[in-house]
Amino acid sequence: MHAASRLRVCPNDQSGISITEFGLIAPVFMMLMMGVLDLGHTLYMQSVVQGALQKAARDASLESGTQDSVFQTTKTAFTAQVQRLANNATVAVNRTSFRDYVKAATPAREPYTDTNGNSTCDAGEPYEDNNGSGSWDVDNGVANSQGGAKDTVIYSASVTYPRLFPYVRVVGLPGTVTVNASAALVNQPYGDQAAVTVRNCT
């Protein structure tokens, strides 16, 4: 076939169009699918972490939860449940106890009577030692403590794990995902709540 004849045939030759279109569309489609699956996995992980933390908080709100060994067992169970979805996840669980919901919602300084009007607890002014530290504190919560009967405890968890599809980093996303959860529960009334100690600022 002469060259001129071949040129006349080329405009009508559609062989190879499908593979060309597939080559152009497939990378974009695959990236989109990986992004959707990665997002779905993250949302599912968020739900699992929140649910597992709620269960851990309920278990710790019992009287036995005041024992550190019980909290460690509960924390281990929480970590195991999370790592079923991401076995190489880094898990951190913390808790802070407060006397009631109001103080937990607004963790502020311990209440005091400002008799000299200088907005500082000093000169023998009385204050409520809510966290039992023996001194006036800006934060009235007790870190790493389950508190006592009827106290409010805020639990927080942070889970960091590699992305389901690390290739999504080519679009600027980080290689790891961090999921946070929190829960606030009141310890069961297994006894009388500890009385507030009133002290004086120095």
Under 8 Å between Cβ of 25 and 17 = no
Q: What is the pLDDT of residue 159?
A: 96
Above 90 in pLDDT, residue 93?
Answer: yes
Check if the beta carbon of residue 155 is closer than 8 Å to that of residue 25: no
User: What is the sign, positive or negative, of the torsion defined by CA atoms of 165, 85, 44, 70?
Assistant: negative
Element (H, E) at 56: helix 17-60
pLDDT in tens, 17-65: 788 888 888 888 888 888 888 889 999 999 999 999 999 899 888 888 7
| pLDDT > 90: percent of the chain | 27
Nearest residue to 140 (alpha-carbon basis) of 129, 151, 150:
129
Tell me the C-alpha distance between 19 and 142, whole Å.
65
pTM of the model: 0.73
- The H or E element that residue 80 is part of is helix 68-83
